Amino acid sequence: MSSYKTRPTPGDTAWFRRDRFGMFIHWGSYALPARGEWVKQNEMISEEKYEKYFKYFDPDLYDPKDWARRAKAAGMKYVVLTTKHHEGFCMFDTKYTDYKCTNTKAGRDLVREYVDAFRAEGLRIGFYYSLIDWHHPDFTIDMRHPRRNDPDAEEQNRGRDMKKYARYMRDQVMELLTNYGKIDILWFDFSYTGPKYENPPQYPWMGLKGGKGKDDWEAEELIALARKLQPGIIIDNRTQLEQDLWTPEQYQPEEWIRHEETGELVTWEACQTFSGSWGYHRDQTTWKSPEMLIQMLINTVSLGGNLLMNVGPTARGYLDYRAEAALGVYADWMRVNARSVYGCTMAEPDILPLCPNGCRFTQTEDGSRLYVHLYSYPFKALKIPGLAGRVDYAQFLHDASEILFDEKEDGSVVFKLPVVKPPKIVPVIELFLK
Ligand code: GLC
């Protein structure tokens, strides 16, 4: 067994830490403006103007079976879909608002089809649910709200009641966790109180509370409800109450994340985008290279974490060609290299420091196999110190071709590699340890 012990979690995270790789899907009516899921607040669009995206929402080419097949081929083992994002538009049939997909040209419950399709491919099912809601009439205007600069924002807030909104969230979470069978992950997003957020000077009119957090969401009740309905479900920490998951967003941690107070290692999942935006963004040109995509996955696992990689489907309901290509990059690599990802974690403390420049280690939980990921391909030989006497057999992972090696007197092992790099973005050496 791995010598790394993680802080115990209330939910069932054992499968999660084994599976390592999931798909995030940001899909909502913000796919129409195609300028990212924050467009309503970024451009301070009025309700009236934003309404057109409801009116014209018509995902006629929605085919979640195709998404699910691509996710599975990419090696993803679980999936998390935005059932409601900050814009407030619901992708499922709910009794508690008319602002839902069933009242658009889509005319049906899109979450239901998503659940069925991904479950059929054997992936575990997650729901993202936004704590923020820029449509709900009881959600008070705060510093991150599209109406934040309205001169009469304070007046508008007078009739709003966050208690009613908290109730609305419980009602919807009840629906989501009752009507779709077993749900494995509930991904709340997000809280924004604290010194960083309180009364930022750029909105001086806001004598109102700067942000919102666990008390506004009535997070204890919300979570108790979720746990009652789906015991074992994995919940993130973004309600501001510690649960199962730490969720670094759009950056790659450099160490295994630790608990802020106790210093214990925690269960973590980096969420990342292909191009910067979560929701479909037509004009973004900052797409990550194939090398980055593969390295982000390996880097994450090499630090004991999971990767949740996002796609932002188009408003027609299919995946953008660039997203399909990026998923293809994972598919090509994972088809033959998944063994260095599933069931793997950070290399053991006595092995980790031996990692040569330009390489990354992962190691199986039971310690029996060590994976050497070659980021910069060496010329003909790779020397790893300290491994002499510990390697039973070595091969390339992608084709199981033997790699001969010599053990040196200084305790190092020299692996004999072909001069030309094998045709994989990151070749992997699999070492069976004694
Ligand atoms: C955020 C953003 C968002 C995205 C997300 C994913 O903080 O508000 O649009 O859904 O986190 O991690």
Domain with 113 in it: 14-342
Is 91 contained in some domain?
yes
**Residue after which a domain boundary falls, among 317, 342, 367:** 342
Closest protein CA for atom 4 of ligand 1: 278
Is 146 contained in some domain?
yes
Is 43 contained in some domain?
yes
Is 97 contained in some domain?
yes
Q: How close are the terminal C-alpha atoms of the chain, in Å? A: 15
326 & 395 share domain = no
Is 311 contained in some domain?
yes
What is the residue-level pLDDT of the chain in tens, covering all 434 positions? 789 999 999 999 999 999 999 999 999 999 999 999 999 999 999 999 999 999 999 999 999 999 999 999 999 999 999 999 999 999 999 999 999 999 999 999 999 999 999 999 999 999 999 999 999 999 999 888 999 889 998 899 999 999 999 999 999 999 999 999 999 999 999 998 865 555 555 554 444 557 899 999 999 999 999 999 999 999 999 999 999 999 999 999 999 999 999 999 999 999 999 999 999 999 999 999 999 999 999 999 999 999 999 999 999 999 999 999 999 999 999 999 999 999 999 999 999 999 999 999 999 999 999 999 999 999 999 999 999 999 999 999 999 999 999 999 999 999 999 999 999 999 999 999 99
State yes or no: cis peptide before 139, omega within 30 of 0: no
State which ligand 1 atom lies nearest to the alpha carbon of 310. 6
| C-beta of 278 in contact with ligand 1 (< 6 A) | yes
In angstroms, what is the span from residue 274 Cα to ligand 1's centroid?
A: 14
Is 137 contained in some domain?
yes
146 & 291 share domain = yes
CATH of the domain at 292: 3.20.20.80
170 & 150 share domain = yes
- Is 216 exposed, middle or buried, given 0-12, 13-18 or 19+ CB atoms closer than 10 A? buried
**Residue after which a domain boundary falls, among 342, 358, 380:** 342
**Residue after which a domain boundary falls, among 287, 310, 342:** 342
| C-beta of 235 in contact with ligand 1 (< 6 A) | no
Closest by alpha carbon to 246, among 36, 7, 4, 71? 7
Q: What are phi and psi of 227, to 5 degrees?
A: -70, -30
In angstroms, what is the span from residue 37 Cα to ligand 1's centroid?
A: 9
Which DSSP symbol is given to 237? S
In angstroms, what is the span from residue 189 Cα to ligand 1's centroid?
A: 7
| C-beta of 249 in contact with ligand 1 (< 6 A) | yes
Number of domains in the chain: 2
pTM: 0.96
Closest protein CA for atom 10 of ligand 1: 278
CATH of the domain at 396: 2.60.40.1180
195 & 247 share domain = yes
| C-beta of 37 in contact with ligand 1 (< 6 A) | yes
Q: Locate the DSSP E strands across 32-97.
A: 78-84
Q: How far apart are alpha carbons 278 and 86 in whole angstroms?
A: 12
Q: How far apart are alpha carbons 374 and 143 in whole angstroms?
A: 46
388 & 405 share domain = yes
247 & 351 share domain = no
Q: Locate the DSSP E strands across 277-368.
A: 306-311, 344-345, 359-364
In angstroms, what is the span from residue 35 Cα to ligand 1's centroid?
A: 14
Is 5 contained in some domain?
no
212 & 127 share domain = yes
336 & 352 share domain = no
Our measurement of the distance from residue 70's CA atom to the centroid of its chain's CA atoms, rounded to an integer in Å, reads 16
Is 242 contained in some domain?
yes
| C-beta of 190 in contact with ligand 1 (< 6 A) | yes
Q: Give 341's strand partners.
A: none
Cα within 13 Å of Cα(24), Cβ side: 26
322 & 354 share domain = no
In angstroms, what is the span from residue 401 Cα to ligand 1's centroid?
A: 43
